Amino acid sequence: MKLRIRGHSIRLRLDRKEVAELARTNQVEETTRFGPNPGDRFIYRLQLSSNPEPTAKFRDNEITLSIPEAEGRRWALGAEVGIYGEKPWGLKFAIEKDFKCLETRPDEDDRDAFEHPGIGDRRECGNDRAGATRPASVPPAAFTLIELLVVMAIIGILAGLLLPALAHAKEKGLSTQCVGNLRQWGLAFRMYVDDNKDFLPRRGQGVQALARIDRPDDWFNALPAYFGLTSFQQMITNHLAPAAHSRSPFICPTATDPGAAYFLPYAMNMNLSPWNLPLATKFSEVVQPMSVVAIADSPGPYASTYPSARPYGIVARHAGRVNLLFLAGRVESLAGSRVGCGKGDPGLDDVRWLTGTVSDSQAHNY
C-alpha cells in the first residue's frame, strides 16, 4: 500500500491483493520501521467500519483511515477508481486503486497493480484448416406462390419487430464505446496530476471555436501521451487528425464532424482550470471532485463545453443522454434534460460544473 502526504492531504493507493484483502478482512495496513525499538515504527492502515461517515485518526505513530463498509465494498468490487473526501478541519483524503504504468519503471514492482486500460491482450483468431471440405450444395426444393407470400409476410413482420431493437442495441454499443474512451481520459487526468505537482491541465479556449492548438498545457495536448498517443497539435502537423467514426480516444463513435477547423467531440469543463487564471487549478483545490465534471460530449468545434443553449453547449447524442467524465474518474450516462442540455446549468449537487475555486466567479458568462 502506497502512502502520499502533502500539506493537508493524504492519499493511499492499493494494488489488487490489498484491495482483495480489504474486502475479505475489512482492514489492510503497512508498517515502516525506523529503528529496532517498538516505538520506532510507523503504521498506516485502511479499514472498513460501521460508521456512516469516513474518519481519520493519528495516534501513537499510527494513521488510520476508516470508510463506511458499504461504500468501501462497492469501491473494492466495482470499476470506480477512487474514494475522495474532506474533513471539516481541512484534511483531504483519497483512496485509490494502483494502476500499472504505461512505461516500465525499474525501481517499481507493479506486478500486482491493476491493469491500465491502455494495455490490453491482443489475441488473434486461428484460420480455418487448409483443405477443409465443404458439403456439396443441394438444389433447393420448389415453393408454391402461397408459401412464398406467407414467408415474405412473416419476414416483414419480424423485420418490423427486430429492426428497432437492433438499432437500439447498436446505439447502446456505441454509447458503451464512448464511455470506455472517457474512462481512458479519466486515468490520464489522474496520472497527469501525479506527474505535475497536483496541477490539472488547462481547458483550452472557452466560448470561441478552437483555433489555437499550440499550448502544451491544454488537455488535448497534455493527456494523450498517457495512453500512447502524440499530442493533438502533432497529429494535425502530421496530417493524422482523428476523423469522425474512427476508433480513437478523441472520437465519440456517434459524433459527426460539423466541418469546423478542428474536430473534438469531447471537451473539458469550461469552468475547470481556465486560462484567465495565472496558474492552472490544482486537483486538491476542487471541492467535491467526485461530482465535478471534467469532460463531456460536445459539438466538435470547441475545446471546452458547459450546459448552455449556445453552440458550445454539451450534447445529448446517445438516445437523448450525454456521457460525462467526473474529475475523480467516474463516468455516467445521464438524460440531457436533467443536466441542462440546450438550457443551462441546473445546479445539481451530483453533477457540478462549478469547482469551488476562483474560476466560479466567471461561470455566469457561460
C-alpha cell at 7: 500539506
C-alpha to C-alpha distances, 35 to 41, 63, 196, 291, 312, nearest whole angstrom: 7, 18, 33, 43, 60
Amino acid in the structure at residue 322: V
Alpha carbons 138 and 136: distance in angstroms, whole number = 6
Taking only Cα atoms into account, the Rg of the chain, rounded to an integer number of angstroms, comes to 25
- Model confidence over 343-355: pLDDT tens digits? 999 999 999 999 9
- Model confidence over 39-58: pLDDT tens digits? 889 999 999 999 888 999 99
Alpha carbons 96 and 150: distance in angstroms, whole number = 61
256-261 CB contacts, 8 Å cutoff, 24+ apart: 256/300, 257/300, 258/299, 258/300, 258/301, 260/209, 260/210, 260/300, 260/301, 261/209, 261/210, 261/211, 261/301
169 pLDDT higher than 80: no
Taken in order of first residue, the domains within the chain and their CATH numbers are: 2-97 (3.30.1360), 170-365 (no CATH)
Alpha carbons 295 and 361: distance in angstroms, whole number = 20
At 142, is the pLDDT very low, low, confident or very high (cuts 50, 70, 90)?
low
∠ Cα 317 333 179 (to 5°):
85
Predicted pLDDT at 124:
37
- Mean pLDDT is lowest, of 63-77, 122-136, 216-230, for 122-136
pTM attached to this predicted model = 0.61
The pLDDT of 197-219, averaged and rounded, is 96
